[in-house]
Amino acid sequence: MNTALKNIRRSPFQALSAVFIISLTLFVVGIFSLVTLASHAILLNFETKPQIIAYLKDGHTTDQVAGLISTMTTTQGVKNAIYISKQDALEIYKKSVGNDPVLLGTVTDWGIVTADILPASVEITASDPGVFNTIVSILEKSDIVSTTPQGKKEIDFPQDVISELTKWTNAIRGAGLVLIIALTVVCILTIMIIISMKISGRRTEISTLKLLGAQNLYIIKPYITESIIYGLSGALFGWIFSFIALLYSTPFLAPRLGGVISFPIPFWIYLFLLIGLLAFGLILSLTSSLFAAARFVKRSR
Amino acid sequence: MLDDINFSVSPGEFVIITGRSGAGKTTLGRLLIHDLSPTKGKIVIDGEDLSKIKPNNISLIRRKVGFVFQDYKIIPDKTVGENIAIALEIGGYNRKKIGEKIIRLLDMVGIPGKGDLFPGQLSGGEVQRAAIARAIACEPAILFADEPTGNLDKDTSIEIFKLLQKINDDGTTVILATHDVTLIGLNPDRNIHLEKGKIISDVDGLPAGKEGKPPIKTHFEKKHKTTSNSS
């Protein structure tokens, strides 16, 4: 450890560049991990909500609804189909508007919002966004689904929000992964070059150690320790930067993602992130220093 | 280059290898610690054939043979104590014992209290003593000293020689490679004279012709051959 610390003190700029590149890599890893977690939460939120809503004509019978539900549930790719009565619709409405007297109609001329003015509906959740069109075409053929004055069936079909969201999430994940891989490679190369330079700079000393009977492990140990110090301190800085970045972006994110992700983010997530980054930093530094050391061992006698 | 040489050294012997620069003295030492491999023949240390040794065990052989290098090979940015400590660490000594051992070794080689000094702060003779201390730190069975007095004055050379004799008296086999004529006359045991990689004489006591003692062992069997640029 003392030799490793001495090596770091002797070439502070090399140490600084190693720690900087590891911090940057792990900062990006940290941010993308949080983005991935957030996008997963957003997707989950969308997936748990009904994806297709078909509003029903007044005067439909229970048998007709049961028939439609049965058709839906037996369609491949449909996860769930439920009937929302007028009364249920009112409850959902009240829940969504809270105690707002304007929206509840208690202070307007329209009178209080009642179940009568709300349509009954069938809400369908699909496990595969690819079956959306099939579901919509079945619903369009149904007699109990109400029609707009323009002659269109009243089906709330949020287009392919989920598939769009999935596409974007995957694109972000893909870009993040490519960036992380590129930074990891740069990181490994930087540490390898620094450690190789240090080993080369002490070639004479190393050859003396070998002549004195030192084994390769004894010789490379200080360099591996040095690399581990880079990796762990880089991980710590990367985590601190991620923490600060998230802290500063919380006022911007909280109102936009408030319903999906709870802010402030619980500390255990930060703790897991720290452990993950430390593990990644350790693997990164060990891999690169072992590569550098392996080259030395191969060349030395 | 060494060619057609064959000799053995018994435990506890003090052998001086003499010869001009390029005669093969350093090559002999490097063969002993497997820094060079013979192209032919074999070298046996303590019953172990170096030509059959596994690469992982080379370091173990090197710990059996203490080596005092011609250019000292003392690490300049470490103190004398740290230089000796490295050899002890390699030999597997624990930290507590290392401190005590360094003090004893420095006393033994005649540079007490200089453990905290850097090699650059010492005289040539003191650096050489530090190098000897490092070489004998792990109590090797054999000590090979390669021109240990090459850069020293006559009096210091004799002091170093006496130190080597003291080490030999403690039971370590000492092989001293030198072209220093001052030392040749001081050895009571055995002198092997090399010329152009061959053994010219192997005599008990002073070299043949100097004191008239007959050679006791000279072999010209083609046993091993190796090349080196060192003297």
- Phi/psi at A232 (nearest 5 deg)? -70, -40
Among the candidates B139, B154, B174, a domain finishes at B139
Residue B75: list chain A partners with CB under 8 A.
Answer: 205, 208
Q: How many domains does chain B have?
A: 2
Residue B69: list chain A partners with CB under 8 A.
Answer: 211
Give chain A as a DSSP string.
-HHHHHHHHH-HHHHHHHHHHHHHHHHHHHHHHHHHHHHHHHHHHHHTS-SEEEEBPTT--HHHHHHHHHHHHTSTTEEEEEEE-HHHHHHHHHHHHTT-HHHHTTTSTT----GGGSPPEEEEEES-GGGHHHHHHHHHH-SSB-B-TTS-B-EE--TTHHHHHHHHHHHHHHHHHHHHHHHHHHHHHHHHHHHHHHHHHTHHHHHHHHHTT--HHHHHHHHHHHHHHHHHHHHHHHHHHHHHHHHHHHHHHHHHHTTTS-SSPPHHHHHHHHHHHHHHHHHHHHHHHHHHHHHHHHH--
Check if the beta carbon of residue A107 is closer than 8 Å to that of residue A101.
yes
Q: What is the pLDDT of residue A262?
A: 75
A3 Cβ under 8 Å from any chain B Cβ: no
Residue A257 pLDDT exceeds 80: no
Alpha carbon of B70 to those of B29, B124, B137, B180: distances in Å?
11, 12, 18, 13
For the stretch B74-130, pLDDT in tens is 999 899 999 999 999 998 888 888 989 999 999 988 889 899 999 999 988 899 899
Longest dimension (CA), chain A: 100
B57 Cβ under 8 Å from any chain A Cβ: no
Check if the beta carbon of residue B132 is closer than 8 Å to that of residue B146.
no
Testing the interface with B: which of A3, A208, A217 to mutate, by most B Cβ within 10 A?
A208
Residue A214: list chain B partners with CB under 8 A.
Answer: 59, 86, 90
What is the domain extent for residue B82? Answer: 77-139
Angstroms from B124 CA to nearest CA on chain A: 19
Closest CB to A212: pick one of B56, B60, B90: B90
In a domain, B152, yes or no: yes
Among the candidates B89, B118, B139, a domain finishes at B139
Arithmetic mean of pLDDT over chain A: 83
Considering the domain architecture, whether residues B144 and B168 belong to the same structural domain is answered as yes
Q: What is the pLDDT of residue B231?
A: 36
Closest CB to B86: pick one of A212, A215, A301: A212
In a domain, B69, yes or no: no
SS3 call for B224: coil
Hey, what domains does chain A have and what are their CATH numbers? Answer: 48-157 (3.30.70.3040), 160-297 (no CATH)
What are the start-end ranges of the H helices in chain B? Answer: 25-32, 58-64, 80-90, 95-109, 124-136, 154-169, 181-184
Q: 């002073």: which residue's tokens?
A: B206
For the stretch B45-77, pLDDT in tens is 888 888 888 888 888 888 888 999 888 899 998
B75 Cβ under 8 Å from any chain A Cβ: yes
In a domain, B32, yes or no: yes
What is the DSSP-derived secondary structure letter of residue B147? Answer: S
Given pLDDT bands bounded at 50, 70 and 90, which one contains residue B216? very low
- CA neighbor of A157 nearest in space, from A44, A54, A48, A88: A54
| A202 to chain B: closest CA residue | B75
Considering the domain architecture, whether residues B30 and B132 belong to the same structural domain is answered as no
Residue A218: list chain B partners with CB under 8 A.
Answer: 89-90
Closest CB to A213: pick one of B73, B75, B90: B90
For residue B51, the domain's CATH number is 3.40.50.300
| A214 to chain B: closest CA residue | B90
Q: How far apart are CA B49 and CA A12, in angstroms?
A: 47
Closest CB to B67: pick one of A209, A211, A215: A211
Considering the domain architecture, whether residues B215 and B110 belong to the same structural domain is answered as no
Among the candidates B123, B139, B155, a domain finishes at B139
Residues A278-285, mean pLDDT to the nearest whole number: 93
For the stretch A140-195, pLDDT in tens is 888 888 888 888 888 887 655 666 777 787 888 788 888 888 888 988 898 888 88
A203 Cβ under 8 Å from any chain B Cβ: no
Considering the domain architecture, whether residues B179 and B90 belong to the same structural domain is answered as no
What is the DSSP-derived secondary structure letter of residue B71? Answer: T
**Which position has the higher pLDDT, A12 or B114?**
B114
